A and B are shown apart, each in its own frame.
Chain A
Amino acid sequence: MAEAIAKTREARAKIRDAGGREVAMLKVQGLKRYFDVSAPWLNRVIERQPKQILRAVDGIDFEIGQGETFGLVGESGCGKSTVARLIVGLYGPTDGSIELEGRDIAGLSRQQMAPMRRRLQMIFQDPYASLNPRWRVRDIIAEPIRAFGLAQGQAAIDAKVGDLLETVKLTARDGEKFPHEFSGGQRQRISIARALASEPEFLVCDEPTSALDVSVQAQILNLMKDLQRAFGLTYLFISHNLAVVYHISDRVGVMYLGKLVEVAPAKTLFATPRHPYTRLLLDTIPDLDMTGRERMPVAGEVPNPINPPSGCTFHPRCPFANDRCRAEIPQPRPLGDGAIVSCHGIEEGRIPDGPTLQAPARPEGLV
């Protein structure tokens, strides 16, 4: 395996554009995905209901550098999984572009997409649902190897499958078993082995540890970090667990109702959260250090994405909302230290500096 690792590392020398600048592994611009959730046509005509459009992802921009881990956080239903599915091509975008190393993959046909598929793999939350229960583990892992012609002949394929199982700290003998014979954590290792089988450069991980115990989660997170170092992988890592995202990510994006409200380097984001929503999220983290801080019960819940509030969609829950917020959609603005924030209040400088890690005091009025 060591040899294979060295080889991949070499092959993964960073790609640069004509000007010598590094090309981002992934660049997403103006990405949108709307779903039509209207009642059936006939009912609509009879009951005179309008068409109902759900804006699951509503115009987001971000970049992920080669070898970087980008974390995506937000409350349930904010559109995280939809972003993941758009990137791996399980959904087509309503609008916007998705560039993989400079090449737009959003509009590609199935055939054109095929070679891209190999480079882009996805790991899902439920490691059981994503593994075919009737296949032996070795066949599950061999499938992408065969599909992409990455090894010829049974012996070579078997050897590669064995290597992959060992890479994820299972044994070659485990290949003979069926998925149900493994624990949740082991199944997630199998999903990772399968994702690695096609020698991808970019892994989209949608809540890969959310169904696991903390102890098993630690094993998987450590494994993912090791693999990233060994193979120079790039990750999009989705989770609603902020501590996990802090631990694994280089940069983090915070989503709210289909939009990115703040993107910043992980440390910056957690030490000096800017957007009022980011602050609210951080304030809801359980206090393991037992400082006696009471968690702030959040006022209000995520509004309905079918009828999102006007202007800044966070305004009904935001203590700093004013008339402008209710009318005008805030645009993303860079703040100098790598943070990009969409908020009128921040832009106007009328929001006091937020809580830091040491003293998570809450902004006044934020109940």
Chain B
Amino acid sequence: MPLLEVENLVVEFPTRRGTLTAVNDISLHIDEGEVLGVVGESGAGKSMTGAAIIGLLEPPGRVASGRILLEGERLDNLPYEKMRRIRGKRIGAIFQDPLTSLNPLYSVGYQLVETIQTHTDMTPTQARARAIELLTEVGIPAPERRVDQYPHQFSGGMRQRVVIALALCVNPRLIIADEPTTALDVSIQAQIIALLKRLCRDHGTAVMLVTHDMGVIAETADRVAVMYAGRIAEIGPVREVIKNAKHPYTHGLMGSIPSIGHDNERLEQIPGAMPRLTDIPVGCAFNPRCPHAFDKCRTVRPDLLPVEDSWTACWLYDGEAGRTIEASKTLVAATKADALLERNHG
């Protein structure tokens, strides 16, 4: 049984001008000790998916349908108090800006001890020892001294590590990390990524890693979900998605990343922008920006279909459309993927 299962999740925002669907029928699962990367442009619904799982959707946002199961137990219909306890004990959250998760008025140690004591019955002395142990674990030097300092006395990277320590306080089974390294320098980013990987390995923690940085995904995730306009465009093993991308949107994303040692005058560019929730196109939401769109794409919405080792929501890979997988792959390859694959295969 997977640690986390999300089935047909729909997240809606009722507004005066009608209901907006931020997450539209998403299904995914994460196994123990596995890192699932979630990528996509801003507004794709990555954070809303994460927020729905930890039960932190801001009203009026709500889970309109679907199921969320942690170790087989349903979370989406739990009362607030119960969910709050699960959030402390079994699910940890790490957000982009470490300052919003830390209280500037209290020492780092105080905040750790408080969280530990809320969720366990440790004595203050035990809790403090555990806090120092956690700071050591996330690689804070001289933790015995640091534990009594305040957030502003830590650098950006150290603050983010403290937030991770907070999320780890009670050995959660699942960590939802929403852009945990986006605000950080690459050098510090490397430290955080190494830390997350070690946690999965040593504690079997499952991680949902939300980011728009493909580089971070490439080296951290086991599987990747690519999101577009509230839906999953492609999901599969990280190698398969990065090196053998199926969906035209994934191709576009990969091509737009500048890379060192690759001398192209211009970057691949996906024309246009992601649609607003108020005007998501009929059919495949990507069709106005897709170089391969054909008639069916403009009228019928594609669902995820298995293609080789991953799943893709694109009519190019649907046999019924009269195109075999091989033919459609050549089509994609001919236009966009060449440079990309060549680059990725070195």
Contacts and interface: CB of A to CB of B under 8 A. Distances in A.
A286 B273 CA distance: 26
Contacts, number: 132
Contacts of A280: 187
A173 interface: no
B242 A225 contact: no
Interface residues of B, number: 48
Contacts of B267: 218, 221-222, 247
A214 interface: yes
Given A290-B344, A291-B346, A295-B190, A215 B269 contact: yes
A65 interface: no
Interface in B87-141: 139
A284 B242 contact: no
Contact of B191 (A218, A287, A298): A298
Interface in A185-219: 185-186, 213-219
Contacts of B218: 286-290
A214 B253 contact: yes
A270 to B, nearest CB: 5
Contacts of B253: 214-215
Interface string A277-307: 0001110111111110011111001100000
Given A215-B253, A243-B260, A295-B190, A290 B242 contact: yes
A52 interface: no
Interface string B306-346: 00000000000000000000000000000000000001101
Find the residue from A225, A281, A284 having the highest chain B CB count within 10 A. Answer: A284
Residue of B42, B213, B216 contacting most chain A CB atoms (<10 Å): B42
A14 B97 CA distance: 46
Contact of A289 (B41, B42, B185, B343): B343
A171 B2 CA distance: 50
Nearest to A282: B260
A184 B42 CA distance: 10
B194 A217 contact: no
B302 interface: no
A267 B211 CA distance: 29
Interface size class of A (residues with CB under 8 A): 35 or more
Nearest to B261: A357
B260 A218 contact: no
B256 A284 contact: no
B38 to A, nearest CB: 14
A240 interface: yes
A183 interface: yes
Given A185-B273, A288-B218, A281 B187 contact: yes
Contact of B158 (A218, A240, A301): A301
B346 to A, nearest CB: 6
Contacts of A294: 194, 219
B57 to A, nearest CB: 23
A183 B273 contact: yes
A285 B185 contact: no
Contact of A216 (B41, B155, B184, B188): B41
B238 to A, nearest CB: 8
Nearest to A75: B185
A165 B139 CA distance: 49
A243 B212 contact: no
Given A216-B273, A246-B258, A285-B260, A240 B214 contact: no
A105 interface: no
B140 to A, nearest CB: 11
A244 interface: yes
A31 to B, nearest CB: 23
Specify which of B155, B193, B219 lies most central, judged by the most chain A CB atoms within 10 Å of its CB.
Answer: B219
A60 interface: no
A142 to B, nearest CB: 25
Interface string B258-287: 111100111111100100000000000000
B259 A219 contact: no
B142 to A, nearest CB: 13
Given A286-B216, A288-B218, A357-B261, A297 B41 contact: no
Given A76-B184, A357-B260, 8 more contacts: A247-B258, A270-B261, A284-B189, A287-B218, A288-B344, A290-B242, A294-B219, A295-B194
28 contacts: A213-B42, A213-B212, A214-B212, A215-B41, A217-B256, A218-B267, A218-B268, A222-B266, A243-B257, A243-B260, A246-B258, A247-B267, A271-B261, A284-B186, A284-B189, A286-B218, A288-B214, A288-B215, A288-B218, A289-B218, A290-B344, A294-B194, A295-B219, A297-B190, A298-B187, A301-B157, A301-B188, A302-B155
6 closest Cβ pairs, A-B complex: A286-B215, A218-B256, A247-B258, A218-B267, A295-B190, A298-B187
